[in-house]
Amino acid sequence: MTSSTTNRALWRGARDSLPFVFVAGPFGLLFGVVSSDAGLHVTETFFFSVSVFAGAAQFTALQLMQEHAPTLIVLISALAVNLRCAMYSAALTPHLGAAPMWQRAVGAFFIVDQSYALSIVEYENKPDMPLAEKWAYFTGTNVVIAPLWCCMTLLGSLVGAAIPESWSLDFAVPLAFTAIVAPMLRTPAHIAAAFVSVSVAILAAGVPHNLGLILAGLAGMITGAVVETEIERRTGRLI
């Protein structure tokens, strides 16, 4: 594995992540605006994004903080929203698990929706990729998005109320998850898990402190596991 090959993988990951600029940019800007409205100082907003680097969890925690929810509920809810990252990590382990500990630690922090979605597709399409190239590609998926996210939250916090509501920045949230999830619904287990989690989330929308999202996530994971196990039992193979 030459340095030129790993460099190409790095820049290929960066190039593939460019479409997500149109999602992460408005999403980060919106978080900065909402944080400013919630009373967070500019530096608090910036370091919130730098230290947590998880948009959905940050929005969840911020909303619950505004509702004066107990600290334990804030932490549990934010962690629950990010449980998907544990599943992402498990899926990436066969590809990056042999990397040195420091790389795995850094990689764990930067596992987000777009880095996982892009990397897992790349690895599946190129099963013979060496470890160094896989790591370079994964790193590349974050070299644009991670700084963009932090800078846009800072900008949103600085401009605050100057951004008109007519811009509808909140469109970025459902757009991001639709763009990531839809192409990955490839098996009956995936589809069943998505259907059940969405249904439970809608039905449990009135549960206090957004705990309905936790119920929806658990219901989706259980459904996916049950469907996959049942299909494996009937067909004798793992889907």
Kindly tell me if the per-residue pLDDT of 1 is higher than 60. Answer: no
Confidence of residue 172 (pLDDT cuts 50, 70, 90): low
Q: Is the pLDDT of residue 205 over 60?
A: yes
pLDDT above 90 (res 237): no
Mean pLDDT of 114-141: 93
Q: What is the pLDDT of residue 236?
A: 67
How far is the CA of 27 from the CAs of 31, 68, 149, in angstroms? 6, 24, 8
Whether residue 171 has pLDDT greater than 90: no
pLDDT at 70: 85
Measured from the Cβ of residue 132, the count of other Cβ atoms closer than 10 Å reads 15
Calculate the dihedral angle through the C-alpha atoms of 87, 14, 98, 112, rounding to the nearest 10 degrees: -20
How far, in Å, CA of 160 to CA of 42, rounded? 10
Mean pLDDT rounded to a whole number for the chain: 84
pLDDT of 81 reads: 77
End-to-end Cα distance, the chain: 33
Mean pLDDT, rounded, for 163-181: 63
Out of 110-119, 134-143, 173-182, 201-210, which region has the weakest mean confidence (pLDDT)?
Answer: 173-182
Token duo for residue 207? 């549960």
H helices within the chain, ranges in order? 3-17, 21-37, 42-52, 55-66, 71-81, 83-96, 101-109, 113-125, 131-143, 145-159, 172-181, 188-203, 211-235
Q: What is the pLDDT of residue 113?
A: 86
Q: Are 163 and 29 in contact (CB under 8 A)?
A: yes
Choose the weakest-confidence range: 55-59, 66-70, 233-237. Answer: 233-237
More confident residue, 134 or 82: 134
**According to the model, what pLDDT value does residue 183 have?**
62
The reported pLDDT for the residue numbered 80 is 77
Q: Is the pLDDT of residue 164 over 80?
A: no
